[in-house]
Structures are given as C-alpha cells and as structure tokens.
Amino acid sequence: MAKFISKSENDTKLIAEKLAKKVKPNDFLAFFGGMGMGKTTFTRYFAAALGYKGETSSPTFAIVNEYRGGKLPIFHFDMYRIETFDDLYSTNFFEYCEMGGVVICEWSEIIENVLPENYIKIEISKGEDENTRIFEIEGIDL
Ligand SMILES: Nc1ncnc2c1ncn2[C@@H]1O[C@H](COP(=O)(O)OP(=O)(O)OP(=O)(O)O)[C@@H](O)[C@H]1O
Ligand SMILES: [Mg+2]
C-alpha cells in the first residue's frame, strides 16, 4: 500500500501523474471516499496525464463518460445514482471492464460486491485542514 498526503490540487495532480505512468489496459481504479474528496479532480489530471486533450466532467447523471485520444481510453463511471444490479448492468459496465481501457469508478462503495478481481483501490480521506487529502493506494506498485 502506498500512502500520499496531498495538500493542494497540484499535489493531487502529481499523484495522478505517477499512477498514469503505471496503468495498463483493463486496469480498474476504484475510488472510495465521500463527497468532495477529489475523485473527479484526480480523474481530470489522470486523463490529462494519459494525453487526453478534451474536457472531463462528473458523470453523475450520464453514469459513464468516455475519454478517448490519449494513450489508453478511459471509461469514467460515477456510481452515486446506481441503485440496483439492473441499473448497473444497463450501463454496460461489465463490457467496459474488458474493453482494453482504464476504468475509473467513483463511489465504488455502491458496487463493492461486483468489483472486478485485482482492482486498484484508491481511498481518499480528509486530512487536518480544508485542502489536505490522504490517498491510500493498493493493488499497484507506485
Ligand atoms: N488536495 C486536494 N486534492 C484534490 N482536490 C482538492 C484538494 N483540496 C481541495 N480540493 C477541492 O476539493 C474539491 C473536490 O471535488 P471533486 O468534485 O473532485 O470531488 P469528488 O470526490 O469527485 O466528489 P463527489 O463525491 O461529489 O463526486 C474540489 O473543489 C477541489 O478543488
Ligand atoms: Mg465526483
């Protein structure tokens, strides 16, 4: 397990860049951690680090956004509004997991029982002040 303390968005960018150097096709990044922890912010920097040039946005309503054109495609899920297995199934989640891209999953807590094997766990928690975040990353050597 690797632990990083981020004291700013820029620190979070550096962590995202470190991870982007190591990911490979079909990797699954499972975010854990509550509202406003920085999951979407991390994803924006991660996508840029993989060479994606476009805009990223929170897929809270779309459930999944696709970012293509970088080194690997990124499939960005937000499970916040997923309530049933059928909801999840109808997003093509299981197909996306095997499409050779990197799947990024916000609110993994909600689908914890159907996460793929060998996922990369990114747990974010609050630090001692407003802009501090603690990142605990498991499942990949950084
Ligand atoms: N060290 C930090 N790293 C990342 N974001 C930070 C940091 N400090 C403050 N922030 C701020 O925290 C907010 C994180 O919002 P973001 O939308 O990324 O969170 P989220 O985890 O995706 O939330 P949600 O659960 O609502 O999807 C942003 O406004 C960002 O500027
Ligand atoms: Mg978010």
**pLDDT at residue number 21:** 98
The parent domain of residue 61 ranges over: 2-138
pTM over 0.95? The answer is: yes
Q: Which of 41, 107, 129 to mutate to test the pocket of ligand 1 (most atoms within 8 A of CB)?
A: 41
Detail the DSSP E strand segments found in the chain: 2-6, 28-32, 64-67, 74-78, 102-106, 120-126, 133-138
Tell me, what DSSP letter sits at residue 119? P
Summarize pLDDT for 11-57 with one digit per residue, the tens: 999 999 999 999 999 999 999 999 999 999 999 999 999 999 999 99
Tell me, what DSSP letter sits at residue 116? P
Total domains in the fold of the chain: 1
Alpha carbons 79 and 135: distance in angstroms, whole number: 20
**pLDDT at residue number 67:** 98
**pLDDT at residue number 82:** 97
Q: Is the pLDDT of residue 115 over 90?
A: yes
Please give the backbone phi and psi of residue 73, each rounded to the nearest 5 degrees, phi first. Answer: -70, 150
Summarize pLDDT for 128-140 with one digit per residue, the tens: 999 999 999 999 9
Strands of the 120-126 sheet, one edge to the other: 2-6, 133-138, 120-126, 28-32, 102-106, 74-78, 64-67
The CATH number of the domain holding residue 85 is 3.40.50.300
Q: Which of 7, 8, 9 to mutate to test the pocket of ligand 1 (most atoms within 8 A of CB)?
A: 9
With a Cβ cut-off of 6 Å, ligand 1 is lined by 6, 8-9, 11-12, 35-41, 58, 106, 131, 133
Summarize pLDDT for 46-93 with one digit per residue, the tens: 999 999 999 999 998 899 999 999 999 999 999 999 999 999 999 999
Among residues 63, 50, 40, 61, the alpha carbon closest in space to that of 20 is found at 50
